[in-house]
Each structure stands twice: as structure tokens, then as C-alpha cells.
Chain A
Amino acid sequence: MKKPIQDISAGRFTNGRANLRRYHQAKWDEPVLFELSQPGERGILVPELESAIVQAIPDAMAALPAGMRRNTPPALPQMSQNRVLRHYLRLSQQTLGADLNVDVGQGTCTMKYNPKVNEQLGRDPRMSELHPLQDAETVQGMLHVYHQVHLLLMQVSGMDAVSLQGRSGSQAIYGNFAVLRAWQEANGTLDTRDEVITTIFSHPSDAACAKLLGYKVITLYPDADGYPDLDALRAALSKRTAALIITNPEDTGIFNSKIAEFTRLVREAGGLNIYDQANANGLLGITRAREAGFDMCHFNLHKTFATPHACGGPAVGAMCVTRKLERFLPSPRVVVDGDRYSIVDGGPDSIGKISKVDPRVKTILQSV
């Protein structure tokens, strides 16, 4: 009689210790691309000019200033197509994407599963072949998606308005500070309130973006129990306070149960509260920015909403704000009238553009 197959798997452990620990990532000893160059090889050909065009335009560069012609060809590698493919497939095998392994990430940044159907849909030509300057009537499907994502994030955050222009969490942080600055310019407090308070366990971009917008940064250190220090906050608050930016949970992973006290003190001191919610996986539907007293927050769609991280972008950081800050959000906006969507200018108070045209729509589509 054959031995049952379970006997094989039983051999994997001895006294609870694994016997098989032989995982090895591929290592190809792959040269640098330039070493693979073979003069004369081509990887892809450009469509040839039609003879009628050549006859009509014998030298299109004749009028170009002499110094504007390139005299030395760029020293790019010269490779056949399959050699390029093989090189990059080998390098891909030397990269440990989250699909292959549990990516514990770092700090507050944990990776989620990125469903394959999303990728398939994001690569549909009705998405990938859209030009950002197309007339609104030709992109009604995409504008509907924007609108739906706005509504979804308003529910998740409790905020009143959303912008999807930020191309990463850090750019959304930057965008939220630009909104803070515009709000202060509008109410005349920019000269007197120029300090932003953050904590050492909040993301480096929280401090860096505040500085970039011209704020002085005050950093709080944790109390004896590892929580953000409420007394330190009291000591830091003053008439110079413009805002608090804080993560919760911080990189320690522990929810700050006094968060509403933090935001109340900042509000009473005359500042705004900004919540860095790059990664909100553990809190969706449990607790929100609004109830905790925040005026702004942001989400990374590539962390909290199942879109891939792509070696570090492309990505989307969604900015969410309360009603009083809505008019400062980036331009343009998507507005709906019945079932027709249009793209309109952000208005005179808008901070304008923070990134090129419209956001990473593939990422947004995948978040729906």
C-alpha cells in the first residue's frame, strides 16, 4: 500500500522547527545595460516617413539655428529587443514585490493586496489612451469615477470636500499645507501664526512640507508611555501656532486615545488640525478624522485603497478638507449637474495647481 502523502509534509518540521529554509531570490549576475550594447543592433523601429512627406519636406531642420543640432549621437546602448526583455525580466526577478511575499513595509506604511482585475481595467485603452485635455463630454466615465471617489472619501473621513490632485502622500501633505497657507493669507494670520507642531513619530514629510511652505517646525517627543506628550503640546502651543499635523496611530502602531484632547487644545489656541492618514487600513469605518476634530486629512490610495505601490509611484494622495477650507483646494474641480459632469476652474481662492493636469487616474480607477 502507498504511504499517505501527509507523511511527506510531516518531514518539514522537527520539534516544531522548520527543516526547509531554502528560499533564494534569483541572482543573475546581470551586467549593466551598457555592457550589453552591440553596435548596430536595434530594439524597435520608428514608423518611416512616407515618401510624399519626404518630397514635400526635404530638410525640416534647415531653419534650425546651427548650434541646436545634435552633433554627437547619445551614447545609449544598442540592443536587440529580446536582449532588452531578458535584461529587465532578470532585474524584475531580483525585486521582491508584495505579490510574492508579505511586505511588512515600514513605519505606518503597510501594503495591501492589489487585485489583478483592477490592473486589467486600468490598462483598458478607454482609460490608458485618454488625453488629459480632452473635452469633458468625451470623458464622462472618468469624471463619474472622480466624483464617486470623492463621495467615498468624504464618508471615510467625515470631511466635506476632496481633491485627488496629489501624486503621492507627501504631495497631499504639501497640498494640505498650501491650503493652510492660503487660508491664513485670506484671514490675515500668516504673519502672526507661523509655527507648525508635529511629532517625531509622524512621517518626515509632515515636518519637511511645513518648512517648505515657510513654517517653523516644533517637534514633540513621546511621553514615558510612548504616546505623543500632551504636556509637551500644551507647552508648544501659543499665539504663533498655525497648525498641528499628526499621525494616529503613529509609527508605534498604538492609537492615541487622547487625540480629541490634542485637537481641542490646538483649536482653542487658534490653529488648524491636520491628520496624516496615509495608511488608514485598520481604522476604516471604525473612527474618522472629523469626529476627532481634524480640519484636513489625506489618504494614500496606494496604501489604504488597494492600488499597487509600483517601486515608489505613480500614486495618489487624496486631500480631504472641511467646508471652510473647500474654496482653497487645487484647481480644477469636477462638478456634476444631473448626470453630466464638467471640469471647472477652482475659483479665485484656489491654490491653483499642485501637479500636472489631473491625477494618476489609473490609480484612482483602481480605488473605486
Chain B
Amino acid sequence: MKHIVYPYIPNSVPEVKAAMLASIGAKSIEELYAEIPAELRMQKPMDLPEPLLSEHALKRHVQSLLARNRHCGEVLSFLGGGCYQHHVPAICDEINGRSEFLTAYAGEPYDDAGRFQSLFEYASMMGELLEMEVVSIPTFDGHQAAATAVRMAGRHTGRKVVLVAEHVNPEKWSVMLNYCRSDLELRQVQFTSEGVLDLDHLRSVLDDQVACLFVDNPSYLGVLQDGAAIAAAVHACGALLVVGVDPSCLGAIASPASYGADIVCGDIQSLGMHMSFGGGHGGFIATHDDEALVMQYPSRLFGIAPTSVAGEYGFGDVAYSRTSFDKRENGNEFVGTAAALWGITAGVYLALMGPAGMRDLAHSIITRNAYAKKLLGALPGVQIVHATQTHFKEFAVNFDGTRKSVTEINRALRGHGIFGGHDLSHAFPGLGQSALYSFTEIHTQEDIQALSQALAEVTQK
């Protein structure tokens, strides 16, 4: 058999292997497997494709696969629904590509001081944006953050019913159902035809069994609604208000804390992460500094403290005893690897943007959506759903009047180099043939006009 020296594996030279075996007194590698019973040993090699041994061959192969993708940088994409195309500052990629951060694992403050400080700073900046004092180290994604937030509310109140505002991302709903299935009951609260939570329905389902209401504001369909009235109704029955929010609106939009939210959660993909087919997500959970509620977090929390050196800060875990790392099944839920590098990156993003950048971002997105509503709403047979509301980042567009399905329209748009909005007809059949169109700060006037013209063409054919 041909002997291969594998570049990724040190000590694969036969002489080195022999020397290592000699130093531990073993005759062959087989002796190291002596504890594995013969009947458990594989009797033949795995049926795997031939390896690509040279780096060049590997690169050519993967590039040939990537060539079968069409990406949002080469077309005009109006897909949103929880994952968004934003400008990613070059510094964000520069920092998260650094070997030190990229390949670090689970060091302690003495060897990973920079990791602890940068994640503490991420949490602190999120805290400023959210107007809350406590923010978790990132969890997997916004869906998981929502699922954990309502479980925190359940533990805090000792109640078993979780109300979920109906215009929620259907995938988030599925994640929450799964995560709460063993001991919480999830019920949906209706929306009005105006696209906002039906307060009468909410009041009719609130009682002393309800742990919390979970509401996304902006909603899955992009509508920003008044939070204060919802908070008052929820608090009147002793339940908590849990709000899911897109952090990129908070430079111009009121924080959920300001209208009474007790737990705030969401996704940080918009804060400096590429979409990466869904790989750029990370979740945050935030609360006020209320000890009873803080002790319900399953996640790690990083804090700051003086050290024995005058003028020096130290950073480390806070209230570690809450976690499954400390208490196994007697900790809160579970904790482990999640999305720390995206937390560091979101910190870089917020430091670059500052208050003025976040204000400009939110204002630009809301204005571009309003402009897009004006253009698309003027097309024959096309209607903006919840047209009178203020939308952030996306809104639903109904095509029933064109007598064409979203599937047909999107197929035709791809021919124009456009990815049309996400099809809502399965998850929200009540909206008919509707699609969720998303616009961020990167969609220029020209882009929006190009979409409008292409839609005019494909809907009239």
C-alpha cells in the first residue's frame, strides 16, 4: 500500500510513529486498541469516496460545487423572514477571521482574557441598545433565544401556559413547540386584519395560569406595533411580557424595555454576519438586573470585576451555579458551544456603527420599505398587506389580483435575476397568494425600481 504523509496530521512519518510507539513500549498501534473487542472492530474499510490529497484538487472540487449555487451578491434578492442581507463591514470579517478568535476553544480568563473581554463588551453594548442590564452570551439563534426566554418565564412565574402572538416566524414556532413540549402549553393569540395583536382576544385568554406572552415586534410580517397597551394587559394578570426584537431597528425604534418588556430576545445575524445559507445566526436574551429572573438564565453570563492590580479589570462567569456545566440535570436547561464568535463580531459591528450609525440604519431601512410599498402598491393587481402600518425590513405583498401564484411569479423573477419575496401561502393561507418582501439599507432606489418593473412585467404576462 502506498504510504501517504498527511499534511494535516503531524507525526505521520513512519519513523516518528515507530519512535512514539517505542517510547510507550508498544510494538504496534494495534496494542492501543486492545480494549476494543474484536467483534466491535470494523472488518473492512469504510465505503468513502477517494480522498483529494492535494490542496489544489480539493479547492477545484469544492469550487465546482459552489459554482452550482446562485448567490444574493450576483442577483437582486428580496428574501428576508428572519435572515437578512445587510452590508457586512470589512472589519467584522477581519476580526472573526483572526486565528486567535477563530480557533479558540474554552480557555480560562488567564489564557483567553481577550475572549472574555470582547464577549463582555458585546453584552454591554447590546445592553445599551436594549436598555437592559443583563445580556447572555449568544445562544444558537433567535428561535432558540425565544424558546429559552419563555421557559425562563415559566420557571420564574411557576405557571405553565405560554401565549404566542400569531404572526411569528413558523420555524420559530416549531422550535418553541419542540423545546417546551415536556412541560409548557403553547397557545396562539390572534392578530387583527390590520396586522397587529388583537388586544380583545389577548385579554380574553389571559388568566392566572399564563406565564408570559411572547410577541415579535416588529412582527414576522414586518409590522411595528404599540407595545405599551400589550404590556399593560399582560402585567395586569401577573404574567411576563417577552418580546422578540430585531436589534437593527433600535437606533430609531423604542426598546421593548421602554414599553415594559420583562425579557427581550432576538437574533444577531443582522449585526455584521453574512447570511451563509442560515449559518450567520446567533441569539440574545436580555433582562433587567432582577436577581430572581437572572437566576433563570441557562446561558453563560460574563461580568466585570476589579483585580488585585490597581486600575485593571478582570472578566469572568457570573452565577455559574445556574448552569448545567455546574449542576448537570439540576441546572437550567443546558449550555454548551453556541455562537460566541458571532457575539464578538456583533460587538465589532456595534462599536463601528455607534449611536449615529444605528439611527441611520433604522431610518434608512424604514424609509426604503415605505418607498418600496409605494412603488409595488401602485402595480395593477398587487396589494400591500397591512398597508397603513409602519414596517421594518419587510412587508407582505398580495398577488391575488394578478391571478398568478407566488411560485409562478418567483420563477419568472429568477429569469430577471431577481429572488422574489418568501412565499407565505403555506404558513399563512389566510393571506392568499402573498409573499414577504424584504428591503434593507443595501437596496438602492434603482434596485427597488428594477423590482417594480420586473414585477409589472411578470404579473401582466
Assuming A95-B112, A205-B334, A368-B62, is B33 touching A286 (CB within 8 A)? yes
A21 to B177, CA, bound (A): 55
A130 to B277, CA, bound (A): 5
A111 to B143, CA, bound (A): 28
Chain A residue numbers with a CB within 8 Å of B328 are: 204, 207-208, 217, 219
A150 to B68, CA, bound (A): 19
Assuming A57-B367, A168-B337, A356-B267, is B113 touching A95 (CB within 8 A)? yes
Check if A224 is an interface residue, CB within 8 A of chain B: no
Closest to A356 in B: B141
Residues in B86-135 with C-beta less than 8 Å from chain A: 87, 89, 91, 93-107, 111-115, 117-121, 124-125, 128-129, 131
Check B334 against A204 for contact (C-beta < 8 Å). yes
Chain B residue numbers with a CB within 8 Å of A54 are: 367
Check A356 against B172 for contact (C-beta < 8 Å). yes
Closest to B177 in A: A352
A-B contact count, CB below 8 Å? 514
Give the number of residues in A that approach B within 8 Å (Cβ atoms). 155
A29 to B255, CA, bound (A): 34
Check A125 against B340 for contact (C-beta < 8 Å). no
Assuming A84-B348, A309-B105, is B69 touching A181 (CB within 8 A)? no
A346 to B37, CA, bound (A): 38
Residues in A312-368 with C-beta less than 8 Å from chain B: 312-315, 331, 351-363, 365, 368
A150 to B106, CA, bound (A): 28
| Nearest CB of B to A346, in Å | 10
A47, A75, A152, A211: the one contacting B329 at CB < 8 Å is A211
- A12-20, A101-109, A229-237, A267-275: which lies at the interface: A101-109
Check if B293 is an interface residue, CB within 8 A of chain A: no
Closest to A64 in B: B390
Check B39 against A260 for contact (C-beta < 8 Å). yes
Check B182 against A127 for contact (C-beta < 8 Å). no
Chain A residue numbers with a CB within 8 Å of B252 are: 61, 69-70
Check if B67 is an interface residue, CB within 8 A of chain A: yes
Chain B residue numbers with a CB within 8 Å of A239 are: none
Chain B residue numbers with a CB within 8 Å of A128 are: 71, 274-276
A127 to B111, CA, bound (A): 33
Check if B13 is an interface residue, CB within 8 A of chain A: no
**Binary contact readout A283-304 vs B (1 if CB under 8 angstroms, 0 otherwise):** 0011110011000000010100
Check B313 against A257 for contact (C-beta < 8 Å). no
Check A96 against B107 for contact (C-beta < 8 Å). yes
A79, A135, A211, A259: the one contacting B352 at CB < 8 Å is A79
Check A311 against B101 for contact (C-beta < 8 Å). yes
Chain B residue numbers with a CB within 8 Å of A131 are: 72, 77, 79, 83, 85, 275, 277, 419
Check B355 against A132 for contact (C-beta < 8 Å). no
Check if A214 is an interface residue, CB within 8 A of chain B: yes
Check B371 against A88 for contact (C-beta < 8 Å). no
Check if B442 is an interface residue, CB within 8 A of chain A: yes
| Nearest CB of A to B300, in Å | 9
Closest to B390 in A: A64
Assuming A70-B253, A260-B37, is B129 touching A76 (CB within 8 A)? yes
| Nearest CB of A to B346, in Å | 12
Chain B residue numbers with a CB within 8 Å of A87 are: 351
Closest to B331 in A: A208
Chain B residue numbers with a CB within 8 Å of A49 are: 364, 367-368
Check if A192 is an interface residue, CB within 8 A of chain B: no
Check if A9 is an interface residue, CB within 8 A of chain B: no
Check if B81 is an interface residue, CB within 8 A of chain A: yes
Check B47 against A155 for contact (C-beta < 8 Å). yes
B68, B258, B278: the one contacting A359 at CB < 8 Å is B278
Assuming A95-B101, A135-B414, A312-B337, is B72 touching A353 (CB within 8 A)? no
Chain B residue numbers with a CB within 8 Å of A111 are: 103, 105
A233 to B199, CA, bound (A): 54
Check if A223 is an interface residue, CB within 8 A of chain B: no
Check if A63 is an interface residue, CB within 8 A of chain B: yes
| Nearest CB of A to B106, in Å | 6
A140 to B71, CA, bound (A): 11
Check A75 against B128 for contact (C-beta < 8 Å). yes
Check B351 against A77 for contact (C-beta < 8 Å). yes
A170 to B339, CA, bound (A): 13
Check B117 against A97 for contact (C-beta < 8 Å). no
| Nearest CB of A to B249, in Å | 9
Check B125 against A209 for contact (C-beta < 8 Å). no
A292 to B41, CA, bound (A): 9
- B17-25, B200-208, B224-232: which lies at the interface: B224-232
Check A53 against B334 for contact (C-beta < 8 Å). no
A63 to B410, CA, bound (A): 31
**Binary contact readout A40-66 vs B (1 if CB under 8 angstroms, 0 otherwise):** 011111110110111011001101110
Most buried by A among B250, B259, B275, B278: B278
Chain B residue numbers with a CB within 8 Å of A156 are: 46
Residues in B236-259 with C-beta less than 8 Å from chain A: 250-255, 258-259
Closest to B420 in A: A135
Chain B residue numbers with a CB within 8 Å of A53 are: 367-368, 371, 445
Check B277 against A142 for contact (C-beta < 8 Å). yes
Most buried by A among B99, B142, B344, B419: B99
Check if A186 is an interface residue, CB within 8 A of chain B: no
Check A92 against B95 for contact (C-beta < 8 Å). yes
User: Across chains A and B, which 9 residue pairs bring their CB atoms closest together, nearest first?
Assistant: A214-B182, A94-B114, A43-B352, A170-B336, A141-B68, A132-B278, A91-B114, A208-B324, A357-B278
A-B contact pairs, 22 of them (CB 8 A): A43-B357, A54-B367, A57-B367, A60-B370, A63-B389, A64-B253, A65-B225, A67-B259, A91-B117, A99-B102, A121-B62, A125-B73, A128-B274, A133-B81, A138-B69, A141-B65, A155-B48, A208-B331, A211-B330, A312-B105, A313-B282, A331-B174
Q: 9 new A-B pairs (CB below 8 Å) besides A43-B354, A127-B276?
A: A76-B125, A79-B351, A129-B85, A144-B65, A309-B337, A311-B101, A312-B137, A356-B141, A356-B175
